[in-house]
DNA sequence: TATATTTGTTTAATCGATTAACCAAAAGTA
DNA sequence: TACTTTTGGTTAATCGATTAAACAAATATA
């Protein structure tokens, strides 16, 4: 089996011209005659020539690779974002390398090292829940390549960001629940140290006040928002003397956990307790009752993040000017709340 | 902002030694003194040296990159396989590049081109449903790098394969349904041209015969197995004069579609019709009733595929000897069938 | 006719790390 | 002492593609 791949030199030898001419011919340089170009392309095809990306990337100083870091690909939101990013970047001649942190800070650091090692031209990331130490992200910046964050960002890091308006989303949810007649609305949220969860909590608190509802400390819970977490936290809420009549959960997965417990306990949703999730994961429309949720426009987020990256490349000196894009979200009302 | 990255030369200059010495020191060559090694590592750290993967890969002729092609990452099965593959490969010093075909033949060809262009050291793939033309896969083989298929393979292609025993899985399902008292079992399967779906269909037919059940042509349907497809095909089965009392669907997504329709029509599952899916996607345990399904041991598949790949590298001449690994699957019985 | 310009290509350097081949100095051995 | 071996490097070529600079030949211009 022929392990050697065809190189420019092979083509050059066949035609008895220099490799430079071959390179230029393939890159459609104006200084090469049409005749030569045709001949080169012909031979390239015959020899099944496959350009060596490593060599050209090394020479040009650009790998045409974009690194992507997501908490996990196995989430509809993230995989959709990645898909739409990929579309935009592919068109611009970039390939993407997807890595997952699995919400682990350590893995995230490894991912960053790997991507820098692969000489990516930029990194688009959504931070792990665990991440509080930003030194690794600073490392990216000091490497001189663009860094764009989406969904899970950080104010302290002076970089571009694309995400939805979490604060307003909470307002939309509370307004909807109030319209449905709810008087005691609980919130199972994420940890405040994560910007997006903090914003959802702030939105919840402000909206509750705005509607003159009781702001009860026991109705606000911080958790890591896994499915199992949702199960545990709803139990706490159900154990209260004065039960809530609605629960707004900051993640669909945790909302699903809560729903499971409610069903197991034969508590009717939405009649006895109304439930709202966040993220519009596909299963929210599949379970019974279907879960009201917030759609985050994953396709738009991916597209904008990719375009923001493209705006930076080809600039000689990277000037990371803060460029925060905040999209409006959309409330998808389903059976669990009406 | 400092856009220039530290190179071996920079370190060499600081210490007034040759770049060769620096390279050897960092690679722990025996011919370099401990003193020099220490000094080099020290300076490398101070200058925040990041080796240039492109350069070393070019020189060594190995990119230490493995290309992965899956129909989509947004499926629990595939993302789990990828995750476990990644674990094994990372440990061996390889990074992976994940690409998705979205079940499109055209996208799959593009992915293959991209991966070859990036000089990956091997490709691990699961074929798109659409794919029947194998010339692009032949291209990988003629490139001299190992190709390993998993789940969606092809007999005609003379390469390694890791998957589960689809034929036996069908037998397990039918045996289970028969034990539950079912007499008319339908099968909503995939297209026969895809090996795994063909095997599931063969298993279904043989198992039906084995249990002396009526083998009725109208009970066997071929489809593309999307959720929407599941909805449409179950409608057909319900329209039959002689309805089935159980339906075995070759994909969880289509099974979910079928379940939705059954619920909408107030047909009780499992009392009136029993339902079995395939793949053990997480939602099968989340919906009501939970769906009986087949677990494919995604972690094992990923691990084995990765290890098969590792078995090939470091060999000078690739001898692709057929190496088919068929794992046993596991039936997870849930409410939809008992 | 003499000079300038254009066309089409070659030469050679380069990207950064690796490595075969070579070499000087120190240490060991007969 | 004279020769061999070991130690700790250095030099220079290399991977394959790109590109600045050079250049010969053809064509245009004065």
Q: Which residues contact A331 (CB under 8 A, 6 or more apart)?
A: A169, A172, A173, A176, A292, A293, A294, A295
How sure is the predictor about B1, in pLDDT bands with cuts at 50, 70 and 90?
Answer: very low
CA distance readout (Å), B217 to A144, B192, B202, B220: 64, 15, 13, 6
Q: Mean pLDDT over residues B138-158, rounded?
A: 86
| C-beta of residue A99 within 8 angstroms of C-beta of residue A42 | no
Instruction: Specify which residue's alpha carbon is closest to the C1' of nucleotide D14.
Output: B59
Three-class SS state of B249: strand
Show the tokens assigned to A328: 């409006």
Instruction: Specify which residue's alpha carbon is closest to the C1' of nucleotide C16.
Output: B55
pLDDT digits (tens, 9 = 90+) for B292-315: 999 999 999 999 999 999 998 856
Neighbours of B46 (CB within 10 A): 11
B20 CB closer than 7 A to any strand D atom: yes
Share of chain B above pLDDT 90, in %: 75
Cα–Cα dist B335/B287, whole Å:
10
Nucleotide nearest to A19 (CA to C1'): D17
Q: Which residues contact B284 (CB under 8 A, 6 or more apart)?
A: B252, B255, B256, B277, B290, B291, B292, B293, B332, B334
Residue A115 CA distance to nucleotide C15 C1' (Å): 19
Cα–Cα dist B61/A213, whole Å:
67
pLDDT digits (tens, 9 = 90+) for B98-124: 888 988 899 899 899 889 988 999 999
The CA-to-CA distance between both ends of chain A, in Å, stands at: 66
A36 CB closer than 7 A to any strand C atom: yes
| C-beta of residue A97 within 8 angstroms of C-beta of residue A68 | yes
Cα–Cα dist B69/B140, whole Å:
13
A20 CB closer than 7 A to any strand C atom: yes
pTM higher than 0.85, yes or no? yes
Residue A1 has pLDDT above 50, yes or no: no
pLDDT digits (tens, 9 = 90+) for B81-96: 999 999 999 999 898 8
CA angle A131, A133, A138 (to 5 degrees): 110
| pLDDT higher at A238 or A315 | A238
Chain A residues with CB-CB distance to B63 below 8 A: 54
Chain A residues with CB-CB distance to B260 below 8 A: 286
- Which residue among A72, A114, A143 sits closest to B95, beta carbon to beta carbon? A114
pLDDT digits (tens, 9 = 90+) for B228-278: 999 999 999 999 999 999 999 999 999 999 999 999 999 999 999 999 999
Cα–Cα dist B122/B306, whole Å:
10
**Pseudo-torsion of CA A186, A192, A196, A200, nearest 10°?**
20
Q: Mean pLDDT over residues A158-166, rounded?
A: 93
Domains and CATH numbers, chain B: 8-51 (1.10.260.40), 60-163+298-327 (3.40.50.2300), 166-296 (3.40.50.2300)
| C-beta of residue A217 within 8 angstroms of C-beta of residue A189 | no
Nucleotides of D under 7 A from a protein CB: 7-12, 14-20
């Amino acid at each position: 089996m022929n392990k050697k791949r065809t190189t420019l030199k092979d083509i050059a030898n066949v035609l008895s011209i220099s490799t430079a001419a071959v390179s230029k011919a393939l890159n459609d340089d104006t200084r090469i005659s049409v005749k030569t170009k045709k001949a080169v392309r012909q031979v390239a095809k015959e020899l099944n020539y496959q350009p060596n990306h490593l060599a050209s990337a090394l020479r040009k100083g650009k790998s045409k690779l974009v690194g992507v870091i997501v908490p996990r690909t196995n989430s509809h939101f993230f995989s959709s974002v990645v898909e739409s990013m990929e579309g935009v970047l592919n068109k611009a001649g970039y390939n993407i390398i997807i890595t997952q942190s699995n919400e682990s800070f350590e893995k995230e650091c490894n991912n960053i090292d790997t991507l820098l090692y692969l000489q990516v031209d930029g990194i688009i990331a959504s931070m792990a829940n665990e991440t509080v130490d930003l030194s690794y992200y600073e490392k990216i910046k000091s490497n001189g390549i663009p860094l764009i964050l989406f969904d899970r960002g950080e104010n302290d890091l002076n970089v571009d960001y694309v995400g939805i308006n979490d604060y307003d989303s909470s307002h939309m949810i509370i307004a909807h629940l109030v319209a449905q007649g709810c008087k005691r609305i609980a919130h199972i949220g994420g940890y405040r140290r994560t910007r997006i969860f903090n914003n959802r909590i702030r939105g919840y608190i402000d909206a509750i006040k705005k509607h003159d509802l009781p702001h009860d400390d026991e109705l606000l819970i911080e958790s890591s928002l896994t499915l199992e977490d949702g199960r545990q936290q709803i139990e706490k809420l159900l154990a209260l003397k004065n039960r809530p009549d609605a629960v707004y959960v900051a993640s669909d997965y945790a909302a699903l956990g809560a729903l499971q417990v409610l069903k197991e306990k034969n508590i009717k949703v939405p009649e006895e307790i109304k439930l709202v999730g966040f993220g519009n994961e596909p299963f929210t429309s599949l379970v019974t009752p279907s879960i009201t949720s917030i759609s985050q426009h994953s396709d738009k987020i991916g597209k904008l993040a990719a375009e923001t990256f493209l705006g930076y490349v080809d600039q000689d000196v990277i000037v990371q000017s803060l460029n925060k894009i905040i999209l409006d979200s959309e409330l998808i009302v389903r059976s669990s709340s009406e």
